[in-house]
Chains A and B, each alone.
Chain A
Amino acid sequence: MDRRQLLNAMVSRGTDAAAHNQSLPIAGGLNPYKGPWNYTTAAHLLRRAMFGPTHEQIKQAVTEGLGATMVRLLTKTADPGPPLNYTSTPADPYCNPGETWVGKRFTPSIQGLSQVRENSLNAWFMQNIFNEGVSLTEKMMLFWHNHFVVSDIFLANISYDYLTTIRKNVLGDFKQLTKDITIDGAMLIYLNGNTNNLRAPNENYARELMELFTLGKGPLAGPGDYTTYTEQDILAIAKVLTGWTTPQNRQQSDGSVLPSVSFVTQFHDTSTKQLSNRFNNAVIKNNGADEYKDLINIIFLKREAATFICRKLYRYFVYYKVDQSIENEIIDGLADTLIANNFNISTVLNQLLSSEHFFSDAAYGALIRPPYDWFFNTVKAMKMKIPSDYTLTYPLFLSIYRSVLNQNQAIFALPSVAGWPAYYQEPAYHEIWINSVTYPLRYTLGISVVNKRFGFRLNGQNNLIYGVEVTDYAAGFDNPGNAAKLIDDITAHLLPKPIEQAQKDYLKSKLLGTFTEAQWTAMWNAYIADPSNTQTKTAVENRLRPMLIALNSMPEYHLS
C-alpha cells in the first residue's frame, strides 16, 4: 500500500487534500509547443530559465519568437573574468587589490585572508547571476552546484576550479561533466576522495556517485541491494577511485599553499574490480589514472543515469511532483533524448522548455521561487544600479549573498551532499523555502531593496546604501502615467498569473495614496519632463515604493 492509500485509509482529509500534491496534467506532453506566443508565454519561459528577467528582455523574446529565444537560452554565455581581490585588508602577498587571486598561492597563516577570497568568490557568483543575460547558463550553474554538491571547502582556489569544471559543460555533456567532477579538487576534498587509497578505501564518494549523482537509489531488493546498485558495487567503486589526492604544494618559507589535484600511482588499487549483477557483473581492470573514465562509462550504460538527471531537471524547471504519468510521458521521453544525444544536456533542456507540457496552463505559477530566484526577481527585474568600482561591486554582491543566506539558500554552504531539501524532501519539496521564519525575512529584505536601504559598511565609512531605481523601472513600461495600466504591466511582469481586480485596486490605492489618478499622471509627466529634478523624482518614488512593497508582501509574488 503506498503512502496515499495508507493515509486515505487512516485519516479523513481536508477538502483540498485531493488537489494537494498532484502532479501537473500532461497536456500535450513533450510535443513541441505551437500555441500563441506573447508576453505571458515569454515571461513564463524566461522566469524559469533565468533569475528575474527584465521587462525589456521579455519583450525582446516576444519579438524574436520561441525558437530564437530557445537558441539564445541554450547558448552558453562568455566565461566571466575571474574573481578579483577587492580589498587590501588584509594584504594578500600574492595578489594585489584589483588582481585576481585565481592561480595565486594562498597564505593560510594570514588572518582573514581565506575569508576575503571566499567572499570574493561568493560575490562573483552573485555578480554572474546578475549579469546573466538571456541564457540558461547561470540557472544551470546553480543546478549543477545543487547536483554535484560541494560545501564548506574553505579553499577559494579549489572552489573556483570546481566552478570552472562545471562551467565547461554547464549546457553540455553530462557524462563528461561527471568524469571531470569525479577528480575535481573540491569534490575530492568534500567527499574524502583525496584520502581514498589502496590501504584504506574511503567509500564516501563512491556511494554518493551512485545515490545522488548518477543512478539514484532504487528500492531495497535484498540485503545491500538497492536495485540500481549494491553495497558490493560501492566497495568496488571506491577501489577504482583510489589514488587521487589534493597535494597542497606548500612553500616552506611562508607556509603558502597552492592546492592541486594529482594521481599517485602507488596509492591506487591495481586489483581487478568486480561489479555486481546490477552492472551485468562488469569487471574493471587496472587502468591507473584513466580507470575512473572506464567506471563512468559503465555507469552511463544504465538507463537510470538518464532518467535520474531528467527527473531532477524537471523538478528544477517545471514542478516538483513526479508521478507515474509524468514518469511515463515526460521523464521517459527526455531520457530517450538524452541517451540518443550522448548525454548532451542542452537537448533535453530544449525539449522540456519548449514543450506543450511546459506551456500548459497548469504549469504557470506552480513553483515557489527559491530564495535566489525571489531575490533577483526583485533586484534584477527592477534594475538595481550596480557601482562599477570593484571595491564597491564586490562588497555589494557580498552583501546580496549574505542577505539571502538566512533564507536557507547559500552557495558553498549547502546543508548536505543531497543539496537543498526543497528539491528532494517529500512531501513538501519547494514549500520548504517558505515558512514563518523565511517569509518575514523576505518581506523585510524586499522593503530594504525597494526603499534603497540595502547597504553595507566599508572600512568604517558610513553605510553605503543601494536599491532598485523604481523610476527607471516604471519608465520602462508603455504608459506609466496611467496608474491602472502601470499596475497591469507591473503585475504581468513580476507575477506569474493574473490577479483579481480587487488586488489590482489595492495596489493602485498604494500607488495613489491620497492622490487621484489624474494627479498621478501629472506627477509622472512632471518627472519625465525633467528627470534630473530631485523634487519631482522623489515625489514619484514616494508613490511607487509603497506599491512595490505591497506587491512584495503578496503571496503571489513568491510564485513563478
Chain B
Amino acid sequence: MKRRSFLKTGALATAPLLINGIPVNAIARNSFLDFVSPDNDKILVLIQLTGGNDGLNCVLPLDQYSNLDKARNKILIKESLGLKLSDKTALHPSMGGMKSLFDDGALSLVHSVGYPNQNRSHFRSTDIWTSGSAADQMITTGWLGRYYQGNHPTFPAGYPNTDYPDPLAITVGGNVSETCQGPIVNFSLAINDPTALTTIPQPIYSTSIPTTNYGNELKYIMTTLQQYTSYSDIIKNANTAAGGSIAPTGNALLDRLNIVSQLIKGGLKTKVYVVSIGTFDTHSNQCDPDDHELGTHAGLLQQLSDAMKGFQDSLKKNNLDKRVIGMTFSEFGRRIKANDSTGTDHGTAAPLFVFGSCIKGGMIGNNPTISDNVQNDEGVAMQIDFRSVYASILIDWFQVEPSIVKQILFADFQKLPLIEGCTTTAVEDDSKRDFLLQLTTSPNPADQYTIIGFDTRDEYVRISLYDAIGSEIKTVFSGKTGEGHHEIRMDTSDLNSGNYVIRIASQNSQNVKILSIRNH
C-alpha cells in the first residue's frame, strides 16, 4: 500500500487557515506550508541526555562481551546482570522500567545512532543534533524550529490566537530548547512550575521601537513578557484542570515529565515538550570501581528508566498514551575503551530510544561490533543516521509530507519502522524494509586490499569508509545497483594501520562492518 496523501490540502481549501487574518497560503508561498495535518493531535516529548551517554553501559551487546571485557573491564557490568531484551542484547540492570516498556512493545531501541564525521565537541555535536544538520553544515535553527516556521512564519506576533490558543512547544526547565529555535525566535516556552506563575503588571511599553540593535533586544524582552503574560493563565488553567501539581517524586526527570502529562491531560494542544537530564559526561567515576552496576551512570539510567515508565503509566491511566511518543537523544556516545579514571571519554554513536503505545516495539539495527584490538580513540561505529529518526517521526507521527521533511532536514533520509498503529492515516508499506543489506569484507584484517561483498536490490546504495573516530575517509561506492550480489575491491595500501568501519546504506536499510587494516 502506498502512503495516502493527506487531507490537509483539502481541509485548507474548504476552511482557510488564517494567521493574523491573512490566509496562510498568501503569506509564504515559498515556506514549509502545511507542516501539520490540521487534525493531527500527536505529541512528541524529547528527553535530552546532556553530556554524551555511554551507550555500551546503557545497552550491553552480549555477543561482544569478551571483546568488551578486554576494552573496558574497569567499568563493565556483569554479563549475567543485564536485563535481557533478546539473546544478544541487554539493558543496564538499573533500567527495569524501560525493560518492562520493551516487553510491552512500547519501546524501540535504535542501535548506534550518530552521523558521519562525528564531532566530539559537546557544543558542536549538540548543535548538530538540535539543528538536525550534517557535521559540516553550520545551521543555527533547530530541526523542530524549522518544522514550526512554515506554519507560523509570523510567530510570536499575534499568538496566542483562536487557531493556536496554546504554546506551540514547551520546555520544562529554566531554558528554551535549541531544537525549537527558529530563524528569529525560539518556538518553545520555558516553564518551571505551572502552579507558581507570577502575575506581572503590564508596564507602559515603548510605542516606537527603533530598528536598531537596542530596539531589537527591547522588542525581544517585550515579546517575552507579553508571551509569558498571555500563556501563563492558559498553562495555569490546564494544570488546574488536570488536578493541580503532582508531589515531587525524588526523581527530577519524572517530576518534569509529570508536569508534561498534567498539561497534556489539561488539554493543551502543544505538540512538542522538551525535558533534559544530565550530566552524562562521565569522564571519571562513571561507576563504582568495586561494583560496576552502581555509580553515577547507573543512577542516571535508573532515573531515566523510572521516569519513562512512570510517564507512560500516567499517560495510559489517563487514556492519552495513543497521542504521545517520546524520544531520547544525546550528543554522542562514549569511547569503547575505558580511561584510567573509571570513566569514558567522548565517542561516536550510541543507542537511542523511542517509546509510547504507538511505537513498533523492538530493535532497529544490530548490536555494535567490538573488535579484539580496540584503539584508544575508537568509538562505536554509526549505523543509523539520527536524521533518519527525525524524518521517521516527522513523516509517520506528525504526518508531514516527505518532500517537506526533505526541506527541513536538507536531504532525504532512510525511514525507520518506528511508528505502528494509532495514526488515522495509513503508513507506508513496510515490506521493503525487511530486506537487510548483507555486507562482508575479506580479507579482514586487510593487507594492501580487501574485497567488499554486498547484496542489494535494484536501488541506490552508498558504501563509505570511516576511521575509528567516525570521520568519513572516502566513498567506496555510490550509485544504482542491480538486484543481486556485488563485489568491490578496495585498495587499502594508502591507509594507516588501524581499525576502520565500512558502512553501506540504501533508502531502506543499512549495515556496518569493522575492518582492520594491517599493512606491511
**Chain A interface residues (CB < 8 Å from chain B):** 2-3, 6-7, 9-14, 16-17, 19-20, 22, 24, 192, 195, 197, 199-204, 207, 211, 217, 219-220, 223-224, 231, 235, 319, 321, 361-368, 406-408, 416-418, 421, 424-428, 430-432, 434-440, 443-444, 496-497, 499-500, 502-503, 506, 550, 553-556, 558-559
Contacts and interface: CB of A to CB of B under 8 A. Distances in A.
Interface stretch (B184-192, B247-255, B313-321, B415-423): B184-192
A503 B204 contact: yes
**Which residue of B149, B218, B471 has the most chain A CB atoms within 10 A of its CB atom?**
B218
Nearest to A235: B377
A127 B178 CA distance: 34
Nearest to A204: B283
Contact of B174 (A11, A437, A559): A437
B153 A13 contact: yes
B176 interface: yes
Nearest to A202: B339
B207 interface: yes
Main SS of the interface on chain A? loop
Contacts, number: 217
Contact of A24 (B203, B213, B377): B213
A202 B283 contact: yes
A220 B119 contact: yes
Interface stretch (B137-145, B299-307, B503-511, B512-520): B137-145
**Which residue of B28, B212, B281, B343 has the most chain A CB atoms within 10 A of its CB atom?**
B212
Given A220-B136, A440-B200, A559-B221, A500 B208 contact: yes
A553 B216 contact: no
Nearest to A424: B123
Given A224-B467, A428-B176, A559-B214, 14 more contacts: A12-B29, A16-B211, A207-B346, A362-B213, A406-B174, A407-B174, A426-B127, A427-B181, A431-B217, A436-B231, A440-B198, A499-B206, A503-B205, A555-B222
B83 to A, nearest CB: 30
Contacts of B473: 223
A450 to B, nearest CB: 14
Contacts of B7: none
For the complex of A and B, list the 9 residue pairs with the smallest distance between their C-beta atoms, beginning with the closest.
A200-B340, A223-B471, A12-B28, A555-B221, A366-B213, A506-B204, A436-B228, A365-B214, A440-B198
Contact of A10 (B31, B281, B469): B31
A209 to B, nearest CB: 13
Nearest to B198: A440
B284 A497 contact: no
A200 B339 contact: yes
Contacts of B178: 425
A3 B140 contact: yes
B212 A416 contact: no
Contacts of B138: 2-3
Contact of B213 (A217, A235, A319): A319
A407 B174 CA distance: 7
B341 interface: yes
Contact of A364 (B214, B222, B472): B214
Main SS of the interface on chain B? loop
Contact of B190 (A202, A435, A502): A435
A435 B224 contact: yes
A263 B149 CA distance: 55
B213 A506 contact: no
A500 B214 contact: no
Nearest to B127: A426
A442 to B, nearest CB: 10
12 contacts: A12-B31, A19-B216, A202-B345, A363-B213, A368-B217, A424-B123, A428-B186, A436-B191, A439-B200, A439-B221, A502-B204, A554-B204
A443 B141 CA distance: 30
A443 to B, nearest CB: 5
Contacts of A502: 204, 207
B294 interface: no
A22 B377 contact: no
A363 B174 CA distance: 28
A438 B377 contact: no
Nearest to A363: B213
B128 to A, nearest CB: 11
A164 to B, nearest CB: 25
Contacts of B216: 16, 19-20, 22
A19 B30 contact: no
B331 to A, nearest CB: 11
